[in-house]
Amino acid sequence: MRIPTPSDVVGLAARSAESIGDAATALPRLLALLDSAEALIRRTDAVIDRIEQTQAGADALVARTGAVVDRADALTAAIEPSITRLLPVLDRLAETTDVREVDALVGLVDQLPELTDSLRTDVLPIMKTLGSVGDDVHDLLLISARLSDMLSRLPGMGRVRRKVDEESDDEVVDQFRQRREEG
């Protein structure tokens, strides 16, 4: 080991003074650095708190979504056989249905309450009376046949009947031609 000389002691004292000076100037910087580190830790703690809140909210949302997904799975499983059977019908309907037909159907659905009331108040009462109409028509035909038979026995009625038949035939032919020209 070497024994220090007085110049070593003076050099050591000078270096110690420099080191103490460096340490003295480093201390405020070190304190500022500690303050910055503490602020950074506080901000990091705040960020971690927000992350934990976000995670808690996301966990709650996932739990609620899980319940919705479970209900949707059950519903899908329940209607899947019906949808599978209806798929060919829906395909054909999509291929053959025009927008105008859909509009007409919507219009018909809009009129259903009025149509139902009209059927109930107007058509059904008439339909109930149709059972007796058949008997009445049968009676009218019998009376008409008897009148025709009685008229044919009157003198000169044969010519009148032929003339009426000819005029009726001409009138029917004219009506047929007119309808054909209009259509």
Q: What is the mean pLDDT of the chain?
A: 84
Q: What is the pLDDT of residues 60-95, one digit of tens each?
A: 999 889 889 999 999 999 999 999 999 999 999 999
**Residue 52 lies in domain:** 1-96
Q: How many domains does the chain fold into? A: 1
CA angle 115, 109, 116 (to 5 degrees): 20
Q: Examine residue 136 and state whether it is found in any structural domain, yes or no.
A: no
Q: Examine residue 144 and state whether it is found in any structural domain, yes or no.
A: no
CA–CA dist 85, 83 (Å, integer): 5
Within 13 A of 67's CA, how many CA atoms are on the CB side? 5
Res. 38 pLDDT band, cuts 50 70 90: very high
Across 18-27, 93-102, 109-118, least confident range: 18-27
Looking at per-residue pLDDT, the higher value among 164 and 106 belongs to 106
Q: Examine residue 17 and state whether it is found in any structural domain, yes or no.
A: yes
Q: Examine residue 90 and state whether it is found in any structural domain, yes or no.
A: yes
Q: Examine residue 116 and state whether it is found in any structural domain, yes or no.
A: no
- pTM score, two decimals? 0.34
